[in-house]
Every structure is written in C-alpha cells, then in structure tokens.
C-alpha cells in the first residue's frame, strides 16, 4: 500500500540537527490535513545508531543505506565535514538513484555528497555561501551559482545555507501538491510563503533581506496588488521616486532578480493561484494576471512552472 511518495533522508555521524529538522518538519510530520496521503519519511544512515549530532545529543536512524534504493526523493542535509568523501556504498546508491530519476535534494554542505557522487557534473547547483568557491573548485564540471537560495536542475535540487533548505523543501511541496498546499504549510510553519517558481531550468530567489521599509517595499506590494495592469521599469521607478537605473540596481539588491523577471514570476504565481481556486478560462486568467494574451501566459507558465496552465489546474484543483 505504498503509493505514498517516499522521502529518505541520509544522515551520518555528527549530523546537523537544524538541517535534518527542516526535512522532518516538511516531510516527516503528518500533514494529511493538507494533502492525503502525505509523504512517507525515513531517516537512513550507513552506520547503526545511535549517531551523535553536532549539538551533542544522539539519534537512531530507521534504516541502512539500502533504503536509498526505494526512495522517490533523497534528502541530504548538511554534511559534517566537506573533506569527508562518502563511502562507495553511498556514492553508488546515489548514482543508481540519479539514473532512475529519483529526486536528489541537498541542503547546505550536503551538495558535496552529491558532488562526490558525480551527479552535479554538467548541472547547475548551489551551496552555503561559505562553501561555494570550494564546491566549484572541487567539482569543476558543475556550475555553481553563489547568489541564489536554491537551484533546480532537472531531478537535482541544491539549496544554500540552513534556512534556504526550507524554501527548497517548500518548493518541492509546491511542485508536488500545488501552491495552495505549499502556502498553507508555510503559514503553518510561520515562514513567508516564499515567492518561487521554476523547475524547468532554474530559480533565483532573494537572499534573506534585512531592511523592510525601503521605498521599494511599497512599490512591490503595490505591484502585486495591481498585476492586471501593465507595468514597465520606468513606471515602477517613477512610483518609487527613483531613476530607472537606480531603481533597477536597488531592485536587484532587495529581491535578487531584475524588475521584469520578478514581475513575470509574480504574474505566473498569481495565475497558479487563480487556476487552483477558480474555474475562470485561461484567456481570462491571462488578463487578470496582466499577460497581454493567453499565448504569453502559456509561454511563461511553461518556462517557470514546467507545465501548461490547464494541466496544472487538472493536477492541483481540489476535487
């Protein structure tokens, strides 16, 4: 009766409790009130327990490395020591998982384990900012993006430090169960329902921002509440009382993207919401989201979400 999506988290001695906790919180806690069935969650390790965590207390993993072969998704939280080459047993299990198309997700320094296994080769990826140079130097065949919260490249998903793992896990929930479920879970976890999108190629996200009351903030909130209207960099800059050049520069500092890319993402995000919660025809939804035509909506929806609006609705609209 295992039609549940199986998430297996791989841990080793001196595992980082927070990174492990992120996976537990998202996949391990029963959320069947949001979507039934929720994930099946297993903690696996090559060593029998008890394993010491970085914080000193110890844990007992459920399974050995053999569990990796049954996983739909493998999560690798922070690896205690980036110098530590994982044993062949793990490397081979990860390679097999990659070949059969299982989803491989790393948080923080967990990316190094994927690197040792060779599954980052030819792919885009990221890790904690302290390690990005090291990762790029050690695995020259992969393309490390140091400036983003997480990167999705096919079935390989890597995230930056600690808290970025939450964003990535929520992104996974969003692709599996839709924006409604992901937002409800974010609310439940009391984290911002991070504005994300893509799976097709890649995702760029704001790195956690400090300043809230920039003049930009008001413009951003205004824009998301007026998505049905056309916007240009120039008009947004005017609203912020900045020159277009300065506006664009500040915009990147605050959001991590460019104004136009951000807008497209917001429009698509709104489209996702409307597709899930209303029965409006795609043509009308395109209008409501500020796309000049349904064709344009389809183009960006496909690029960012990786599927078509109607398919998305069919998958995620509650029965």
Binding site for DNA (CB under 7 A): 232-234, 242-246, 248-250, 252, 258-261, 264, 292-293, 295-296, 299-300
Residue 49 or 292: which CB sits closer to DNA? 292
Residue 163 or 248: which CB sits closer to DNA? 248
Residue 29 or 295: which CB sits closer to DNA? 295
- Vertex 253, ends 251 and 256: CA angle to 5°? 80
Q: How far is the CB of 255 from DNA (least distance, A)?
A: 11
Residue 141 or 295: which CB sits closer to DNA? 295
Q: How far is the CB of 23 from DNA (least distance, A)?
A: 33
Phi, psi of 199 (to 5 degrees): -135, -30
Residue 278 or 293: which CB sits closer to DNA? 293
Residue 39 or 262: which CB sits closer to DNA? 262
Q: How far is the CB of 44 from DNA (least distance, A)?
A: 40
Q: How far is the CB of 267 from DNA (least distance, A)?
A: 9
188 Ramachandran zone, left/alpha/beta (phi>0; psi -120 to 50): alpha
Tokens of 311: 């398919």
Q: Are strands 58-59 and 143-144 parallel, antiparallel or unpaired?
A: unpaired
Q: How far is the CB of 16 from DNA (least distance, A)?
A: 33
Q: How far is the CB of 76 from DNA (least distance, A)?
A: 31
Residue 27 or 301: which CB sits closer to DNA? 301
Q: How far is the CB of 62 from DNA (least distance, A)?
A: 44
Phi, psi of 42 (to 5 degrees): -135, 140
């Amino acid at each position: 009766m295992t039609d549940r999506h199986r998430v297996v988290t791989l841990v080793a001695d001196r595992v980082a409790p927070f990174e492990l906790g992120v996976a537990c919180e998202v996949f391990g806690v029963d959320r069947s009130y949001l979507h039934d069935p929720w994930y099946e969650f297993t903690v696996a390790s090559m060593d029998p327990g008890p394993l010491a965590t970085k914080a000193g207390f110890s844990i007992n993993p459920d399974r050995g490395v053999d569990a990796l072969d049954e996983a739909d998704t493998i999560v690798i939280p922070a690896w205690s020591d980036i110098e530590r080459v994982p044993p062949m047993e793990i490397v081979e299990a990860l390679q097999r998982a990659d070949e059969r198309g299982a989803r491989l997700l790393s948080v923080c320094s967990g990316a190094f384990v994927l690197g040792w296994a060779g599954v980052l080769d030819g792919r885009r990826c990221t890790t904690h900012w302290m390690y990005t140079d090291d990762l790029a130097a050690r695995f020259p065949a992969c393309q490390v993006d140091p400036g983003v919260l997480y990167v999705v490249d096919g079935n390989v998903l890597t995230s930056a430090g600690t808290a970025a793992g939450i964003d990535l896990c929520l992104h996974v929930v969003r692709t599996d169960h839709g924006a409604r479920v992901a937002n409800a879970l974010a609310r439940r976890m009391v984290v911002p329902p991070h504005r994300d999108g893509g799976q097709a190629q890649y995702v760029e996200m704001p790195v956690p921002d400090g300043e809230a009351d920039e003049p930009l903030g008001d413009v951003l909130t205004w824009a998301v509440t007026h998505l049905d209207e056309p916007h240009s960099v120039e008009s947004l800059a005017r609203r912020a009382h900045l020159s277009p050049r300065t506006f664009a520069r500040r915009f990147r500092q605050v959001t991590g993207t460019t104004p136009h890319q951000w807008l497209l993402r917001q429009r698509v995000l709104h489209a996702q919401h409307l597709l899930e919660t209303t029965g409006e025809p795609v043509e009308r939804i395109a209008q409501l989201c500020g796309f000049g035509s349904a064709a344009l909506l389809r183009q960006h929806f496909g690029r960012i979400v990786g599927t078509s609006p109607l398919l998305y609705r069919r998958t995620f609209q509650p029965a």
